[in-house]
A and B are shown apart, each in its own frame.
Chain A
């Protein structure tokens, strides 16, 4: 039967993808929160994280690591991806957005600048790193996509476990940072009322930069996690980032927990129907969801802006 057949398997795949979407989606939502701007170059932040993780592992992984060393390598790759993503996000804000802000440019200029920066970055990556996909070294037994365990008839790949654990740690950390730290309070204050935040001594430019970097850290980490399974290539950011953007809209753009929820919902929603239809439908379904959400619930599922405490 359609839907019930392999239900648990598709659910597992959907959740695993959803965790990655959630990580990427936060980058859109954080930047939107403080700037009311969609950073369409976020796909390249994700890609940069993928390459950063790839190059670092390429340099340090000699023979196939086992046990604890596998975990060390994963953490190292995530850290490298996060730093690569954070750095590119920081530079993007400085080069592609801040000068426009200084000149009080219209919103359309930001969009064009984002698209330009995105083309620049991925073409640069394509030129420097080649046009074919590069495999990240195997860092645990067998391959990066072996089966870890089986639950309710669903085979759970090792990579899914890694995605879920890494994403949960990162998502919870981000949630705490935004709720509890001075950095997070600054971001929320600027998101709620930038001018008043500046009257309280908050440096708006600095907070905007921080929001880009925070989103870049998560997006870059996601790039590495994605590359671990699918390899890295200059075009890798396009589809996952567009889906993550869909997830951010689905959750209510600007709403952090909404982005997390939106990522998981989208991952599952695009995966479950695949028990009935050809897998080629997956992306069609995902973007169909975007259109339907925009039509019927443009403020998203949770539909509330960044700034929620706790």
Chain B
């Protein structure tokens, strides 16, 4: 099967400092792919490169076989990539409804069925629809960030640490929703520090270390891997 998204030999530098080195990643249609790694490993940089916020110094990013590594972020959205950024980044002084409408900025026509779909996934957002985004709780903001990205009807959704700073029950709910979004036909690339939960959900996973992919395998294999267990699942060395 051909990849929906493919990164080949991607190098990214911030000034002189390398953040990614020769990164190869592929995401196939219908998958949930987990991208794991410690703080500063380059996970966020990878997603920002896919979305066009950062330009690779070397290598390529291709969506459906076409290169997108020189395309502007707003056009990449139109090509079908949605991005839920690290730290949610909702618009605090715009209402919940306006946040969702901005998510559909590239689209024309009626948004009612999309809004209904989002409110179906996150009923709390419907109750809060006229409230400013900045007044929502952390969990609600995360739901809004996901809903906002879905408003563009992406074929591929990038999620950057959706569980960050949330209570275990809320994390559980968010992970259930991610699975549901995949089942509804959206492919997912999921960045997580919460490796165990991410790998239970994912089909495959990549592990980044210092900007390089050091492991790439089926999620089950990674879950069973000694190194992963020690480094990312918080188990002491056996």
Residues of A participating in the B interface, judged by any CB pair closer than 8 Å: 182, 185-186, 188-189, 192-193, 195-204, 304-305, 307-309
Contacts and interface: CB of A to CB of B under 8 A. Distances in A.
A142 to B, nearest CB: 48
A204 B72 CA distance: 10
B13 to A, nearest CB: 16
Interface residues of B, number: 25
A100 B132 CA distance: 34
Contacts of A199: 51, 53, 73, 77, 83, 85
Contacts of B106: 201
B91 interface: yes
A309 B93 contact: yes
Interface string B9-53: 000000000000000000000000000000000000000000101
Contact of A193 (B51, B91, B105, B132): B91
B193 interface: no
Contacts of A200: 77, 102-103, 105, 148-149, 152
A138 to B, nearest CB: 46
A94 to B, nearest CB: 18
Contacts of A185: 94, 98, 101-102, 105
A204 B73 CA distance: 10
B31 to A, nearest CB: 22
Interface in B52-107: 53, 72-74, 77-78, 83, 85, 89, 91-95, 98, 101-103, 105-106
Contacts of B105: 182, 185-186, 189, 200-202
A192 B85 contact: no
Where chain A touches its partner, the secondary structure class is helix
Nearest to B151: A200
Most A CB atoms within 10 A — which of B51, B92, B93, B148?
B93
A201 B132 contact: no
27 contacts: A182-B101, A185-B94, A185-B101, A188-B91, A192-B93, A193-B89, A198-B53, A198-B74, A199-B51, A199-B73, A200-B103, A200-B148, A200-B149, A200-B152, A201-B74, A201-B78, A201-B106, A202-B74, A202-B102, A202-B105, A204-B74, A307-B93, A309-B93, A309-B94, A309-B95, A309-B98, A309-B132
A182 B108 CA distance: 11
Given A199-B77, A200-B77, A308-B93, 12 more contacts: A189-B102, A192-B93, A195-B89, A198-B53, A198-B72, A198-B74, A200-B102, A200-B148, A200-B149, A202-B74, A204-B74, A309-B93
B211 to A, nearest CB: 21
Contacts of A304: 93
B34 to A, nearest CB: 21
B98 A201 contact: no
Given A185-B98, A186-B105, A189-B102, A203 B92 contact: no
Interface in B158-201: none
A196 B91 CA distance: 9
Nearest to A204: B74
Interface pairs A-B: 3 shortest CB-CB: A201-B106, A201-B77, A307-B93
B94 to A, nearest CB: 6
Contacts of A305: 93
A305 to B, nearest CB: 7
A201 B94 CA distance: 17
B74 A203 contact: yes
B197 to A, nearest CB: 25
Contacts of B73: 198-199
B140 to A, nearest CB: 17
Nearest to A186: B105
Interface in B99-131: 101-103, 105-106
B114 to A, nearest CB: 14
Contacts of B53: 195, 198-199
